[in-house]
Amino acid sequence: MRDTPRARAGGTLIPMLPLIDPLRPERTRAVPCGREWLYEVKLDGFRGMLYVEQGRGRFLSKTSRWMPRFDDLANALARRLGVRDAILDGEIIVMGNGGPDFRALMFNRRAAAYAAFDLLWRNGRDLRAQPLWRRKKTLRTLIEASPIGYVEHVEDPQLYESAVRMDLEGIVAKRRSDPYAPATEWLKIKHSGYSQMQGRWELFAR
């Protein structure tokens, strides 16, 4: 995981926030079980880390690139958070009738929204060493009065079966006590019959 004392976003210097490489879930076929695991629905969208400073925001992608297409969304969310600075991890999505609509997001057919599942930094304090459950609790409090969605977690591995029944992309399993660190393991379990995966590679080929 890379940290730098400065992050440059589209020519704008963000002087106080570290540039953090997002944790990337590893794919597995089996849902891990045990009391140490939490489970979240895997939202089908663009991974986005929201950097906020002095009422302005920017998104960083899972490949550590700035995402200028979503600057308006990032700035609108930043103004509503009421913090001096923050770094959130989450997913940029477009919601359809049955869940995230990836094609609508890909082709900019409807307004995008943001759903957060982790909080790494708030008001000058680095939260990455805290356990996941504590970071999520702080995140929920932070965003409760904002337009940012909160990605709920459950302790039941049967969330995967529910995701399959609802034709969602899958789930992500995380250990409740883990920090946000290079050695931390997140596991993604994808729904093999997910309908929106049909023709997905052709979309990117265009």
Q: What is the pLDDT along the chain (206 residues), one digit of tens a residue?
A: 455 444 444 444 445 799 999 999 999 999 999 999 999 999 999 999 999 998 999 999 999 899 999 999 999 999 999 999 999 999 999 998 889 999 999 999 999 999 999 999 999 999 999 999 999 999 999 999 999 999 999 999 999 999 999 999 999 999 999 999 999 999 999 999 999 987 666 655 55
In a domain? residue 9:
no
Residue 115 sits in a domain whose CATH number is 3.30.470.30
pLDDT value of residue 64: 87
Overall domain count for the chain? 1
Q: Is residue 96 part of a domain?
A: yes
Assigned domain for 113 exists: yes
Has residue 80 been placed in a domain?
A: yes
The phi, psi pair for 42, rounded to 5°, reads -85, 110
Write the CB contacts of 30 (distance below 8 Å, at least 6 apart in sequence).
189
Is residue 110 in some structural domain? Answer: yes
Q: DSSP letter string over 3-45?
A: --S-EEETTEEE-S----PPP-PEE-SSPP-STTEEEEE---S
What global pTM score does this model have?
A: 0.89
For residue 21, being part of any structural domain is answered with: no
With respect to residue 18, please indicate whether it lies within any of the assigned structural domains. Answer: no
